[in-house]
Amino acid sequence: MTVVEDQGATLYEKCLATALSSPEGKAKLFYQEELIAFGIVDNVADLMGLCQGLMHAQLLRLMQLDNKTCFALRTKEIANKVVTLAEEERMVYNQIENTGTNGIWQKNIKQRTGLHQTAITRAMKTLETKRLVKQIKSVKNPAQKIYMLSHLSPNEDVTGGPWFSDGELDIELIGVTADAVVHFIEKQSWARGFVKRERSPSPGMDGIEEAGMKRKRTDDIEGVHTKSRKRHDMVETQISFPPGYRGYPTVSAIHHFIRESGFIKEDVVLTEGDIKGLLDVLVFDDRIEQIGNGYRTVRGVQGATEAMMGMVHGKAPIDMIEDVEGNGLTQAPCGRCPVFNLCEEGGPVNARNCEYFEAWLRA
């Protein structure tokens, strides 16, 4: 290896190490000053020589940013493949590479390279077989194919965020993640406690005593400790943690849980904003509530809504009418009656001949 080759290799290694420890990672761009600062050579001309060599080996590529020249890295693995590309293929590759995680439409490649469509199609085929580029779907324009380097993950503008798969909102993924999140939160939301539930009076019970119990609020308090006969059962229930309790899961704890549980693919960016969005939905669904600086489940809630779970299994959202407790209206036949608007006293449909009532009263 020549000295120059050696120096070139050192420069590349330095760049790679710097890039990997930088916040941008492999996508870090280097300006001339930074490269000089590595101290491998002491003048710009020599530096340019080294860069030339690396560019030739396809390990480095030249870019323009704000009218300044800068350099970007390629991994050795990719560089080795790019070296073998023909001229037209490389032109196409460069265009795709330049658009980074946004991807590029075929017609834009055509515009920018000035190549003929057939040439592009051919080049594209090679690039795809060499696994250098891939096709992806964009949420913005699902019909249009866009291209991106294989090792990149499309950014959120393209994918729509972590809840999208192949450019479509992944209802199933949202459903199972939501359900898991609710269970996760639930475990830390309430203490288990036992409460006394007064037994319903047995049939033979003395009526006077019964009335006496009902009135206990107005009784004399002297009677407090005398009524020790057992009139209640202990029932397990969710009891509240003390006020100001700090053990409720926070957004970042929930973030961590989702990451760790593997619902979302490793390479997908999952921001706290994404988590907050999901938690908001669960708040709207009355599954969880904000408390202190965290979340807890609404008392009694066990998981995601049936509608959410139903959609996981391919049901239409409109089909899912939750069988929740409801109120006086929704539980009565008229509250759910399909002919409510037609029903009137003396009319063909009325409360007297109503079948819904018949069924409801028998139930």
Partner 1 sequence: MAEHHAELCALLLRESYGELAAQVYSKLAHVGRSTLPTLISHSGLPSRHVRIIIAVLIQQHLVFHYTPEADGMTFYEVNSENAYNLLRSGKIAKVVADRHGEDAAQVISNLMQLGHARIDDLEGAYKLNSHTNGVSNAATDHVNGEDAASGHNAKKITSVAQLHSVLYKLLKAGLISKVRKRDFNSVADTHNDAETIVKREEFPDGKVTGPKAKLAFDSSVFSLKRKWREETDAWDPRSASRGIINRSDGRPIKRARVNGYGNGVGRYEEDEGIMLEGDMIIAVNYEKCLVALRSQQLERLAARLIGDTTAKVYASLLILVERKVHRCYDDLAVYADEDHEAESQPDSTTLEISDILDPRLDLVTSIGSEDGPDMTNGYHSGDDEMGDTPVKKENVEANSYRDRNKRLKLIEQHMNLLAEHPRRFVTKIGSLGQGQWRVNFPALIKGMQRTEIETVVNSRFGTIATRIVRMLAMKGKLEEKQLANLALMRQKDIRSILTNMQEVGLVDAQEVPKDNRRQPSGSYYLWYFDHDRCRQLIISDLYKAMARLIQRAQHEKDQYSALIEKAERLDVVGHEEEYLTANDKNGLREWREKEEKLLTQLERQDDVVALLRDFSAQ
Exactly one of 349, 359, 361, 363 binds ligand SF4 (CB under 6 A); that residue is 349
Exactly one of 141, 290, 302, 340 binds ligand SF4 (CB under 6 A); that residue is 340
**Element (H or E) spanning 176, and its range?**
helix 171-187
Q: Which of residues 279-308 bind partner 1 (CB under 8 A)?
A: 280-281, 284-286, 289-292, 298-300, 305-308
283 binds ligand SF4 (CB under 6 A): no
SS3 74: coil
- Among partner 1, ligand SF4, none, residue 192 binds (CB under 5-8 Å by kind): partner 1
Burial of residue 177 (number of CB atoms within 10 Å: 0-12, 13-18, 19+): buried
190 binds partner 1 (CB under 8 A): yes
Q: Which CB sits closer to ligand SF4, 105 or 357? A: 357
Paired tokens of 151:
């090792």
Q: Which of residues 313-352 bind partner 1 (CB under 8 A)?
A: 316-322, 324, 326-332, 334-336, 340, 343, 345, 350-352
Q: Which CB sits closer to ligand SF4, 172 or 358? A: 358
Minimum CB distance to partner 1, residue 209 (Å): 9
Which runs of E-coded beta strand occur in 104-210? 104-105, 133-137, 145-149, 164-165, 168-169, 191-198
Q: What's the rounded Cα separation, in Å, for the pair 296 and 348?
A: 51
- Among partner 1, ligand SF4, none, residue 1 binds (CB under 5-8 Å by kind): none
356 binds ligand SF4 (CB under 6 A): yes
Q: What's the rounded Cα separation, in Å, for the pair 323 and 316?
A: 16
**The one segment of 16-24, 58-66, 188-196, 336-344 that binds ligand SF4 by CB under 6 A:** 336-344
The DSSP letter of residue 250 is: P
169 binds partner 1 (CB under 8 A): yes
Q: Which of residues 127-166 bind partner 1 (CB under 8 A)?
A: 163
CA dihedral 39, 41, 44, 45 (to 10 degrees): -170
- Among ligand SF4, partner 1, none, residue 3 binds (CB under 5-8 Å by kind): none
User: Residue 61: CB partners within 8 Å, gap ≥ 6?
Assistant: 55, 71, 72, 74, 94, 97
Type of residue found at 264: I
Minimum CB distance to partner 1, residue 227 (Å): 8
Exactly one of 203, 244, 262, 314 binds partner 1 (CB under 8 A); that residue is 244
- CA neighbor of 65 nearest in space, from 22, 32, 106: 32
359 binds ligand SF4 (CB under 6 A): no
3 binds partner 1 (CB under 8 A): no
**The one segment of 150-158, 174-182, 183-191, 339-347 that binds ligand SF4 by CB under 6 A:** 339-347
**Whether the Cβ atoms of residue 102 and residue 158 lie closer than 8 Å to each other:** yes
Q: What's the rounded Cα separation, in Å, for the pair 279 and 88?
A: 49
Q: Binders of partner 1: how many residues, by CB under 8 A?
A: 82
Q: What angle do CA 270, 312, 166 make, to 5 degrees?
A: 50
**Whether the Cβ atoms of residue 137 and residue 270 lie closer than 8 Å to each other:** no
Cα 293 to its chain centre, rounded Å, is: 21
CA dihedral 88, 89, 93, 95 (to 10 degrees): 20
Exactly one of 339, 347, 362, 363 binds ligand SF4 (CB under 6 A); that residue is 339
192 binds partner 1 (CB under 8 A): yes
Q: Which CB sits closer to ligand SF4, 83 or 339? A: 339
Residues that bind ligand SF4 (CB under 6 A): 333-334, 337, 339-340, 343, 349, 351, 354, 356-357
